[in-house]
């Protein structure tokens, strides 16, 4: 049995889904390339799915795409492009990055703009249930009608107000009855897309998209819902409130949130611009190395990205490759993953197993292929993970994030590239 920390219950608890596990992870807002924070979130749910499949479950993990919201409309305006063209381009880049990192494909990857009819009917139902009101062309959720508001985040009102202000909640909007009320449907600015509706022309608020898509794709109660920890409030709190207002049943059985990846002492974020892009790292490093560098951190910790992580991960991969094919360490890795997805512990367990046997099966459970790199084939060894053209330059090229160039490949005999792509 696997045990996982549940944000709402504030404890590590058994996660005991049925044969089919329904999961919803909040996906990207596609206005810039995928960075390491995104990769850390989706790798966490990837490893969780791999362990659940290993236990015999079928997993259905939906990952949405927020292709209409304030951020993407602003960026499209700045670039002078149509917001859906921007989204299409960035989604293609994101999908290629995630494929290169070896992520299991999403069960569905629905876009917010695919769900306007679903969103409109959900907003109508929230309104009809008495949990929302219309004001100044918008529809707002009435937080005072929801005594359980706070069930996910457990924040007090002052903390909620602070975070709502930081995270696009517009607490100062004069059309609201309460600053914590949140928008379900809003009028569009003149240059923004607008859809006709019984509430007037407009576009969805952010939170409603994930409720509508989750229910549409997976049903009224999800086994597990997650994303980065920055989404606990307001996003997930609001999703739970509006969904349960309509369905009357729990929206989510288990909430799982991933810590923040930082750079330069701050959360890595598109708005700050302190980003390390997955695509840049992939030019110089094998996907397995990037995967191991991320999995070296426990998913619930906040951590700071350092290029040296890649060097250590490359050494580790070389040692595992030297150990070869086999099932050593498999039960130890399973035990570590079942203990709140302890990936750092799983890596250490494999390090311990490698000197006495092949670790390919246990590494596979972490999504790490340790098939050795044929010394004469370089980057083509992994077939479909390597799409199109990559930078085939020397090992000292590429991003400045790659650390020193003398990292370990001593176990690789004549292959001097070790875990780095040539
Ligand atoms: N589209 C919404 C979710 S519905 C959104 O938050 N998009 S995002 O592009 O801003 O973030 C995508 C995912 O990456 C979210 O789960 C978010 O919590 C997570 N994320 C963003 N930055 C970081 C970071 N620095 N560290 C860890 N996770 C992050
Ligand atoms: Zn979401």
pLDDT digits (tens, 9 = 90+) for 25-46: 999 999 999 999 999 999 999 9
pTM of the model as a whole: 0.89
CA–CA distance, 134 with 292 (Å, rounded to integer): 49
Spans in the chain with pLDDT lower than 70:
372-422
Ligand 1 in reach of 227 Cβ (< 6 A) = yes
Residue-level pLDDT at 372: 59
The H helix count followed by the E strand count for the chain is 13, 13
Taking CA atoms only, the protein residue closest to ligand 1 atom 9 is 28
Q: How far is the CA of 27 from the centre of ligand 1 (A)?
A: 7
Ligand nearest to the CA of 36: 1
Residue-level pLDDT at 374: 55
Ligand 1 in reach of 36 Cβ (< 6 A) = no
- CATH code for the part of the protein at 304-365: 1.20.120.640
Q: Counting atoms of ligand 1 from 1, which one is nearest the CA of 38?
A: 14
Give the side-chain half-sphere CA count within 13 A for 242: 35
Ligand nearest to the CA of 270: 1
For the chain, the structural domain boundaries read: 17-263, 304-365
Question: CB of 132 within 8 A of CB of 141?
Answer: yes
Residue-level pLDDT at 399: 35
Residue 406 neighbours by CB distance under 10 Å:
8
Residue-level pLDDT at 242: 98
Residue-level pLDDT at 309: 95
DSSP percent split of the chain into helix, strand, coil, nearest 5 = 45, 15, 40
Rg for the chain (alpha carbons), in Å?
A: 23
Taking CA atoms only, the protein residue closest to ligand 1 atom 5 is 28
For residue 398, how far is the Cα from the chain centroid? Answer: 26
Taking CA atoms only, the protein residue closest to ligand 1 atom 22 is 37
Q: Which architecture does CATH list for 17-263?
A: 3-Layer(aba) Sandwich (3.40)
Residue-level pLDDT at 387: 31
Residue-level pLDDT at 271: 82
Q: Counting atoms of ligand 1 from 1, which one is nearest the CA of 28?
A: 9
CA–CA distance, 142 with 145 (Å, rounded to integer): 6
Q: How far is the CA of 45 from the centre of ligand 2 (A)?
A: 15
């Amino acid at each position: 049995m696997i045990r996982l920390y549940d944000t709402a219950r504030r404890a590590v608890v058994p996660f005991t889904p049925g044969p089919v596990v329904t999961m919803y992870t909040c996906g990207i807002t596609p206005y810039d390339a995928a960075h390491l924070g995104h990769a850390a979130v989706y790798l966490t749910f990837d490893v969780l799915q791999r362990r659940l499949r290993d236990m015999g479950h079928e997993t259905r993990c939906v990952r949405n795409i927020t292709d209409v919201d304030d951020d993407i409309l602003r960026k499209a305006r700045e670039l002078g492009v149509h917001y859906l063209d921007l989204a299409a381009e960035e989604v293609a880049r994101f999908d290629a990055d995630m494929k290169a990192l070896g992520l299991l494909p999403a069960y569905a990857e629905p876009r917010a703009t695919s769900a306007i009819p679903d969103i409109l009917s959900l907003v109508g139902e929230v309104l009809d249930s008495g949990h929302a009101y219309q004001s100044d062309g918008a529809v707002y959720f009435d937080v005072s009608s929801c005594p359980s508001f706070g069930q996910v985040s457990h924040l007090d009102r002052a903390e909620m107000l602070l975070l709502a202000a930081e995270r696009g909640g517009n607490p100062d909007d004069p059309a609201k009855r309460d600053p914590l009320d949140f928008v379900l449907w809003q009028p569009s600015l003149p240059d923004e897309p607008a859809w006709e509706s019984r509430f007037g022309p407009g576009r969805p608020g952010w939170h409603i998209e994930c409720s509508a898509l989750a229910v549409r794709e997976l049903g009224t109660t999800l086994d597990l819902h997650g994303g980065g920890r920055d989404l606990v409030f307001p996003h997930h709190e609001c999703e739970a409130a509006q969904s349960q207002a309509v369905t009357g049943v729990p929206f989510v059985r288990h909430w799982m949130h991933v810590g923040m990846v930082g750079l330069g002492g701050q959360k890595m974020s598109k708005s700050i611009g302190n980003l390390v892009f997955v695509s840049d790292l992939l030019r110089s490093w094998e996907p397995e190395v990037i995967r191991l560098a991320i999995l070296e951190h426990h998913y619930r910790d906040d951590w700071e990205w350092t290029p040296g992580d890649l060097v250590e991960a490359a050494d580790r991969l070389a040692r595992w490759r030297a150990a070869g094919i086999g099932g050593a360490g498999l039960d130890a890795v399973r035990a570590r993953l079942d203990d709140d997805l302890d990936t750092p512990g799983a890596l250490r367990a494999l390090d311990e197993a490698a000197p006495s046997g092949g670790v390919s099966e246990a590494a596979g459970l972490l999504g790490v292929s340790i098939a050795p790199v044929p010394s004469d084939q370089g980057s083509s060894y992994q077939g479909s993970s390597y799409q199109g053209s990559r930078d085939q330059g020397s090992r000292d090229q590429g991003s400045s994030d790659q650390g020193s160039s003398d990292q370990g490949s001593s176990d690789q005999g004549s292959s001097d590239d070790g875990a780095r792509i040539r």
